[in-house]
Amino acid sequence: MKKTVTWVLIADGAQARVLQHNGPGKGLTQVDGLDFAMDTKQAQDIMADRPGRSYQSNGAARSSMEPKTDPVAYRETQFVRSLADMLDRQQQKGAFDRLVIAAAPIALGDIRKAMSAGVKKTVVAELDKDLTNLPTLQLDKHLDGILSI
């Protein structure tokens, strides 16, 4: 009988890692090559140019134009989409059977939107908590009710 492989995705909008649950009493181990981080930048670091200016429709007054999207939020959305794509590829390869997601609330919502239907079927639990900065050994306190660690 094939062993059921459970992955745990720990993520926020700028970093993520995938851990594998090896069964009751065996804890979690990092999945090789599935540790991701994006440089954190402020909006002024991303938008190096000054904002454009536009004329008012009446008169000679000018005002600066704001970007249509928040550049930091856009980068985080792109990061989360790349995570969802990675999960989809790994699921199609049969790398995992079940998925547990622990992510910051906003990132969790973005991950839900970006996941494919195949990956959504493997999700057995979600935790809306940012655990990205916790060492692997301390995750059992937060995932105890979800996994038998």
Taken in order 121, 148, 32, 113, is the CA torsion positive or negative?
positive
Is 55 inside any structural domain?
no
Collapse the DSSP code of 54 into the 3-class scheme (helix H, G, I; strand E, B; otherwise coil) and give the result: strand
56 found inside a domain: no
Domain total in the chain: 1
CATH number of the domain where residue 17 is located: 3.30.420.60
pLDDT values of the chain reduced to their tens digit, one per residue, 149 residues: 567 889 999 998 889 999 998 777 777 888 998 888 876 655 445 454 555 555 555 655 555 555 556 666 787 888 888 999 999 999 999 999 999 999 999 889 999 999 999 999 999 999 999 888 888 888 877 887 777 65
Tell whether 11 is covered by a domain. yes
Q: What does the block give as tokens for 49?
A: 């140019």
Q: What is the pTM of this model?
A: 0.76
- Asked whether residue 75 is assigned to any structural domain, the reply reads yes
Asked whether residue 19 is assigned to any structural domain, the reply reads: yes
User: pLDDT exceeding 90 applies to what percent of the chain?
Assistant: 35
* 109 falls within a domain: yes
Residue 113: give the domain boundaries: 6-44+67-143
